[in-house]
Amino acid sequence: MRGRLDSQVAIVTGGADGIGRAIAELFAREGAKVCIADVNRELGEEVKAGICDKSGDAIFVETDIAEPASIAQMVEQTVENLGEPSVLVNNAGFIAFTDDPAEATPELWHKIFAVNLEGMWECSRAVLPFMRKAGRGSIVNLGSVHSFQIVTGHFPYAVTKHGVIGLTRSLAVEYGPENIRVNALCPGMVETPTALRGWEELDDPAGVRKWVGDLHPLKRSASCEEMAYPALFLACEESSFMTGQSLVVDGGRSAFYSD
């Protein structure tokens, strides 16, 4: 049976855990050769082994998205081991915020932009020559519901996620004539391992988990797998006339007002 990403070479940044892991594993099941790019070697090797054990084709490359040289090395290893990339999922991200924007340090500002926006651009810039040569390509950038609505106490994270939409739309317009599509996937609350660990440190983990889930009309948060399938749609030919768009997958959270 033909997979939706047969013959494709996909890079998934932040692919060792959470949403990125779910995307990497699904892409492999759909026939893609996958590069898992992440700073976490132990988890990255684990994901790679799991894919290869199921007859998939994957490599892990330890990658610091905040360092252009590290990105360049990762793309080089992808080309050498898997082939020229035709799909890029810019999933790697850094979550940090402060209650008072005036208290955000220059170090915090530069670090979060280095990963969430500059790193996203550097990864895109590194794969674009291959996509342009092939005359096709799909880039999926991970935005957020924070890309559109400001929630107090989430500075400067929300600023970077607004920037993701600008980057997505700019690249889509510039490279659309060359059959390179660029879209954003914007999740709501997702029960990633990081989120679950954070809740476990609170006094009432189950209560907080239910409270967060109840913010959504579906009365629950998403699983990582529920973000992987929309990412697959954006990456494959099923969305071939879709570019410069932001696919919001938030359980209906943004559809209603609450104070």
Q: Which of 157, 175, 229, 257 is catalytic?
A: 157
The mean pLDDT of the chain is: 91
The values of phi and psi at residue 155, to 5°, are -95, 135
**CA triple 36-107-12, angle to 5 deg:** 10
From the number of C-beta atoms within 10 Å of its C-beta (0-12, 13-18, 19+), residue 146 rates as buried
The values of phi and psi at residue 217, to 5°, are -55, -30
**Selection from 2, 5, 1 nearest residue 229 by Cα:** 5
CA distance 108 to 101: 11
Task: Tell me the average pLDDT across 24-34.
Answer: 98
pTM score > 0.85 for this model? Answer: yes
CA distance 116 to 118: 6
Q: What is the pLDDT of residues 35-84, one digit of tens each?
A: 999 999 999 999 999 999 999 999 999 999 999 999 999 999 999 999 99
pLDDT of residue 126: 98
pLDDT of residue 259: 54
Lookup: tokens for 222: 């998403």
Lookup: tokens for 184: 């954003």
153 band by pLDDT with thresholds 50, 70 and 90: low
Strand, helix or coil for residue 219:
coil
Are 32 and 3 a contacting pair, CB within 8 Å? Answer: yes
| 157 has catalytic annotation | yes
